[in-house]
Amino acid sequence: MSVAIRPVQTRREVDRFIKLPWKIYKNNPAWIPPLLLERKQFLNPKKNPYFEHAEVQLFLAERDGEVVGRISAQIDHLHNRTHKEQTGFFGFFESVEDFEVSSALIEEASAWLRNQGMKTLRGPFSFSINEESGLLIEGFEYPPYILMPHNPPYYSNLLEQSGLKKVKDLYGWNRDVFSPFPEEVYGIIEEVKKYPGLKIREVNPKDLKKDVQIIVDVFNSAWSQNWGFVPLTEHEVQKMADDFKLILDPHVALIAEVNGLPVGICVGLPNLNEAIRDLNGRLFPFGFLKLLYRVKRRKIKSGRVILLGIKKEYRGSVLGALSVLFYVEIGQRGRARGFRASELSWTLEDNEKINRGIELMGGERYKTYRIYEKSL
């Protein structure tokens, strides 16, 4: 029987959309089931501030009444205003290994975006570049870290057969937390520490909203010239602060200041995926207690460096090497907090300065994620 593509319109269809990965990944040992409650809130326009500047349509692919694929099509007006583009995006792509299914999904998303005046299809982003980005094309054997995507190896073939072509690769890096840093690194650090008025401090949990705003201000400055950059809105900042309350470890969330003014950030997060892996997506009846215990009792033994940036106006000085100080500081702090594995992700493939710096620090590129694009 042929494939039918249906727009998601009811709560039951949203539920089917969310639960499809349990079918796709049932034999994939690296996959980590997301929390069902979190996914429902993320897809709820009343709960996710992304919808304040975007239009979204979800689609399901069905065959003989069975869900065999899904996709989102979205228009991020903030992205298009920032870059002066007419780009539409897709995300949440899942499909059985069947080109008829995947091509029908891509065509339906393309048609929806084309009908609203979009000139380009780009993705996958679920929903934006500030969330899960890219299709995994290398490193399938490793479980994903917090807020990073995972997918079967055959997805790239399905997308490419549908006419999508690579536009950008993103890199994920790991580093042996017990490996010493290269000797030349410490000379660089000592020079950075001499900068007048420089201080590295932890994020303050008692004033989290203020410090999250600082993090976002530095992010918006440091990343503003990066490919695909989209600034975070005030409500997205508030949601970030609310989300951080549960999982933030201030010992690995750092702000650099010069005479009290923020100049750089380095934010690591405990790898929540490690804590939820055996919950099968469910917090009740006992999942929440397990999660709370693992987070509060520091049972999580891995972490991801999710943000590292220096304000543009300081990069021409010795503070351009502040990233080296951050790498060492957060590495030492993470090890002291009991972390035994770490990931730094993601970086753009053509950000040569950052990528060389990570390699200098002993980082190894072990995952690659691909962003695709095609003309509409």
Same domain, 156 and 76: yes
Output the domain CATH number for residue 135: 3.40.630.30
In this structure, is the dihedral angle defined by the CA atoms of residues 1, 151, 128 and 213, taken in order, positive or negative?
A: positive
Q: 357: closest CA among 306, 308, 302, 303? A: 308
18 with 91, same domain: the answer is: yes
9/116 same-domain check: yes
Compute the distance between CA of residue 152 and CA of residue 159 in angstroms, rounded to an integer.
Answer: 12
- Number of structural domains the chain divides into: 2
Q: What are phi and psi of 270, to 5 degrees?
A: -55, 145
Strands (DSSP E) found in the chain: 4-7, 54-63, 66-76, 87-95, 120-123, 125-126, 132-133, 135-138, 165-174, 198-202, 253-258, 261-270, 302-310, 341-348, 364-375
**What DSSP string describes 291-337?**
HHHHHHTT---EEEEEEEEE-GGGTTSGGGGHHHHHHHHHHHHHHHT
* Average per-residue pLDDT for the chain: 94
Domain boundary among 171, 196, 227: 171
- What is the 8-class DSSP label of residue 365? E
Local structure of residue 96 (DSSP, 8 states):
-
In this predicted model, what pLDDT tens digit does every residue of 227-253 receive, in sequence order?
A: 999 999 999 988 988 888 888 899 999
pLDDT at 1 over 70: no
Residues of the chain with pLDDT > 90, as a percent, come to 85
- Calculate the alpha carbon distances from 180 to 30, 177, 268, 298 in Å: 29, 8, 19, 24
The pLDDT of 330-349, averaged and rounded, is: 94
353 CB burial (10 A radius; 0-12, 13-18, 19+): exposed
Do 329 and 203 belong to one domain?
yes
Q: Where is pLDDT greater, at 288 or 47? A: 47
Q: What is the mean pLDDT of residues 284-296?
A: 80
Same domain as 12, residue 114:
yes
pLDDT of residue 356: 92
Question: Which pLDDT does position 148 carry in this prediction?
Answer: 98
- Kindly state whether residue 367 falls inside one of the protein's structural domains: no
CB 265 within 8 A of CB 240: no
User: What average pLDDT does range 192-219 have in this prediction?
Assistant: 94
Q: Are residues 227 and 317 in the same domain?
A: yes
Query: Which residues 6+ apart lie within 8 Å of 273 measured at CB?
Result: 32, 143, 144, 145, 146
Q: What is the mean pLDDT of residues 285-301?
A: 81
Has residue 10 been placed in a domain?
yes
- Specify if 361 maps to a domain: no
Domain of 24, in residue numbers: 4-171
- 28 and 132 inside one domain: yes
Residue 53 pLDDT:
98
Does one domain contain both 227 and 96? no
- 127 and 224: one domain? no
pLDDT for position 56? 98
Whether residue 228 is found in the same domain as residue 122: no
User: Which of 50-59, 103-112, 238-247, 331-340 has the weakest average pLDDT?
Assistant: 238-247
3-state DSSP assignment of residue 259: coil
- How confident is the model at residue 202, as a pLDDT? 97
Instruction: Answer whether residue 350 is part of any domain.
Output: no
**In a domain? residue 360:** no
Taking residues 259-286, what's their average pLDDT? 93
Phi, psi of 298 (to 5 degrees): 55, 50
Residue that is last in its domain, among 142, 171, 200: 171
Residue 359 lies in a domain: no
Is 15 found in the same domain as 148?
yes
375 pLDDT above the threshold of 70 = yes
CB of 79 closer than 8 Å to CB of 128: yes
Of 144, 171, 198, which residue is a domain's last?
171
pLDDT at 50: 97
231 and 155 together in one domain = no
Average pLDDT over residues 286-304: 83
Cα separation, 216 vs 200, whole angstroms: 17
| pLDDT confidence of residue 246 | 80
